[in-house]
Structure 1
């Protein structure tokens, strides 16, 4: 299981975690939000027992943040009480999706109490005949990869498995999770050496903020065989993302939406038929949904690209038992201007290929280490500068392939939303679980007041891509997988017609 923080007393916060702490602002709270949906009702006392035995084994969840000048520390909360963090609530009215969305929207814009450990769980006891668990955890505690592992460490593979503390080693190790993540395959060998790389080029990264403002000076500082200099130059020269309906002045209110899930195998079949990865297919559907939203609102999209900041896991194997933040960012330009769905998939694939072999993720992790150690007056302009480069944060997290249970109740589905930094006003989350794929969107209310208008288009974009794929292979010999995919599409259309 991730995280091995059984110590006590005061502990210095890492520079990267400090950077995420100081990114917190009213217009963009650095809080990761997730929901577990359950088939049936959940026993609140049993849930509390599981959390006391499995979550609170880790000191971080009983520690609060203490700031001292430019530094931050973790300190044991002398008045810790789980009742301050685990709440039982009931939804009003029909207690359906609309009511749960309202509940999450109300909380997602509210800051956590910095006088206590920075996390909350709300057990919604009456959601659609079952229950839902809404979790909010501050980004300075850990990145999404670590937090997913911690939350999964609270679960079991069977209903009666929560009577004892979870074993120290996670039961959902990387080899058991969905392997089709090109970023993970690409950066895993790089992650093993990133610490040495950053140390070797501390001079470059230590002066990086000034260099970003004057890219012509980068070559004066260092020449490296690892591409660090070129990577810094590329980031420095990257222009700001264009203004669209998704990018502008932010408010203090956020809105969330989530989709009906897609069958994972059908997404894989499309990818196989087109010679692309699952990730290529999913990201092209995201680009198509964003394009359709902009077109509907009268925005010209011909030739338009918007960048997504994509988190890349750089956690070395030696730090698999730690919380904290161990990821960098790569900037993926989404081909919004490409109308043809198959052309869009291939363009996404081409752009993903261009990212391979780069060091953007290592550089951004290093920059976070630097700015987190600098005064806040220096960090904030740096964060603002980088946030102009992207329109959205986009993350793809593979979850368990088989059903899991929490406190004796089966998890029917999972959903989460990532925070945005600086002036970024949209986050897109992709999460697979139990051979299904879910999409979640968080937007700034001022920019996109109804993110459901985006999320409802993901399924349509996938159906359009399926039809285009079938038409593109009509002259080929029959493929059993594509035939099954065609039947699956017909079932989806039939179900949609009945629902309408």
Structure 2
């Protein structure tokens, strides 16, 4: 039995019919050229006949404020095998994912499902995996992914992802001295009390920055209203694309910024162009919530994330000015977090962002929000992975949209590519797929600036620090 972390409880509390709180991933595989015609059927049979026992968190279900093992675990409820209708294009695949990502998970069972999808053009198949955000965060999900597959294309007999054990899950499943619920509660309380003095000091610094209108400090409820910030329906649209990571790395090196800065900058430019096309660009800069991991162990369950509020500078037409604005706001937030431990960061975040969470839950101030959208960038596997000889070609993350935040951009790196997944409310964000084209246009724009912009402009941006 494992206690719910406060963040896990928050994700569960936020869920409602039009606001599912699960995350997912679309994994696209290439069937080996020499594979038997029954490759997919054999893979499905191996999964269904597997004697392996699911490991945490995949065998955990809700039991009040705790995760408990499901004594009636039924694989048929969680694993599904389907085939796309002809011609099996990526368009049909993304339509299916959009539909499945709209549906709620059953809380009477462990909160995950896996869909193996065949019939995709180009001799490919896919796996769509969705799991409730209360069970796992993005970094933990990537760790599970790397353990589930192999770097060896000749490796056969790889078990299903939900049966992959490791040191952490063995510790969770091995018999141990029982710890009372009261003891777990008091341990958590003691940890929070120890963090209090530092957290209060940082809260004071944040209030001072807000009072003094620090140009690089981004406060809650600073985000302007936009078409992205309206109530969402239960319908989702999912779009995905891959970009060469080397292109972003070259831009980052040329302008002496991080790849994450470049990612936020191309998202900012793409949003600006998209909103201009909808005649809906706010006059004030849009704010992105950037999830940041504070996980300091090898665990791969629960959530250990906080968030940075980044000023996207969408009101600025100059791409370099937007990049500089983004960089300064991110550095300002990171400097604050560097002065705190992971527990202190989580406590600080709970204090600063709880009003925003309450507003999302209650809907009391629908025209006010702490941020306009979520932009997440997760580090993924650097080498190509294989599942019983089938090469994993792409990983497209699917995430959450909320009332007040109708668009989510989640990215991950994989084998030299940046894999982009866009998740949006179908009704609130028209022609959302156009953002993919705008992302490519922004990358091209920065590549052109690398050869045409004034060196003095680059030096000015490189040496600009938060004041």
Same fold (TM over 0.5): yes
Partner of 1:153: 147
Q: Tell me which residue corresponds to 2:57.
A: 60
Q: Which residue is 1:308 aligned to?
A: 288
Of 193, 196, 202, the match for 1:227: 202
Per the alignment, do residues 442 and 96 of structure 1 end up closer, same or farther by CA in structure 2, a change over 3 Å counting?
Answer: same
Structure 2 residue 304 is the aligned partner of structure 1 residue 326:
yes
Match of 1:110 in 2: 103
**Cα distance in 1 between the residues matched to 2:200 and 2:359:** 30
Residue from 193, 197, 221 that aligns with 1:199: 193
Match of 1:23 in 2: 14
Task: Indicate yes or no: 2:336 matched with 1:358.
Answer: yes
Matched, 1:255 2:249: no
1:410-462 deviation line (CA, Å, top 9, x unaligned): 10011102213453211111111110112221111221133201122111111
Q: Within 5 A, what are the aligned runs for 1:71-110?
A: 72-110=65-103
Q: Which is further off, 74-83 or 32-41?
A: 74-83
**Contact 1:43–1:407 (CA<8 Å) still a contact in 2?**
no
Q: Are 2:295 and 1:282 equivalent residues in the alignment? A: no
Match of 2:313 in 1: 335
Structure-1 separation of matches of 2:140 and 2:52: 13
8 Å contact kept, 1:231–1:363: no
Query: 1-side partners of 2:90 and 2:205: how far apart?
Result: 48
Match of 1:168 in 2: 166
Q: Tell me the distance in 1 between the aligned counterparts of 2:49 and 2:10.
A: 29
CA distance in 2, matches of 1:195, 1:469: 52
Contact 2:291/2:305, CA 8 A, preserved across alignment: yes
Shift of 1:343: 2.5
| Alignment partners' CA distance in 2, 1:160 and 1:82 | 27
CA contact (8 A) 1:393 1:427 kept: yes
Instruction: Say which is worse superposed, 49-58 or 339-348, in terms of deviation.
Output: 49-58
SS at match of 1:356: helix
**Distance of 2:46 and 2:432 partners within structure 1:** 36
The change in CA–CA distance for 1:159 and 1:339 in structure 2 (over 3 A counts) is same
Residue 454 of structure 1 is matched in structure 2 by 435
Once residues 439 and 377 of structure 1 are traced to their aligned partners in structure 2, the CA distance between those partners, rounded to angstroms, is 29
TM-score norm. by structure 1 comes to 0.74
Aligned residues: 414
CA distance in 1, matches of 2:438, 2:325: 20
Question: Contact conserved, 1:19 with 1:368, CA < 8 A, in 2?
Answer: no
Contact 2:85 2:119 in 1 (8 A): no
Match of 2:378, SS?
strand
What is the CA distance between 1:312 and its match in structure 2? 0.8
Say if 1:369 and 1:349 are closer, same or farther in 2 by CA, change over 3 A.
closer
Q: Shift of residue 63 of structure 1?
A: 2.4
Residue 101 of structure 1 deviates from its aligned partner by 1.3
Q: 1:460 to 1:378 in 2, by over 3 A?
A: closer
Q: How far has the Cα of 1:473 moved from its partner? A: 6.4
1:241-286 Cα deviation digits (max 9, x unpaired): 2111211122221211112x22211211111111222111111100
Please report the TM-score for the alignment, with normalisation by the length of structure 2. 0.79
Gaps of 5+ in 2: 33-38, 169-187, 211-216, 457-467
**Measured at CA, do residues 164 and 281 of structure 1 come closer, stay the same or move farther in structure 2, by a change above 3 Å?**
closer
Q: What is the distance in 2 between the residues matched to 1:463 and 1:335? A: 19
Rate the CA distance shift 1:422–1:362 in 2: closer, same or farther, 3 A.
Answer: farther
Matches within 5 A, 1:174-189: none
The alignment status of 1:123 with 2:123, answered yes or no, reads no
Instruction: Identify if the C-alpha distance between structure 1 residues 93 and 16 changes in structure 2 by more than 3 Å, giving closer, same or farther.
Output: same
Q: CA–CA distance in 2 between the matches of 1:195 and 1:258?
A: 42
For residue 4 of structure 2, what is the aligned residue in structure 1?
13
Separation in 2, partners of 1:121, 1:449: 29
Asked if 1:441 corresponds to 2:422, the answer is: yes
**What residue is the counterpart of 2:137 in the other structure?**
143
Alpha-carbon RMSD: 3.6
Q: Post-superposition shift, 1:26? A: 1.9
The whole-number CA distance in structure 2 between the counterparts of 1:87 and 1:444 is: 25
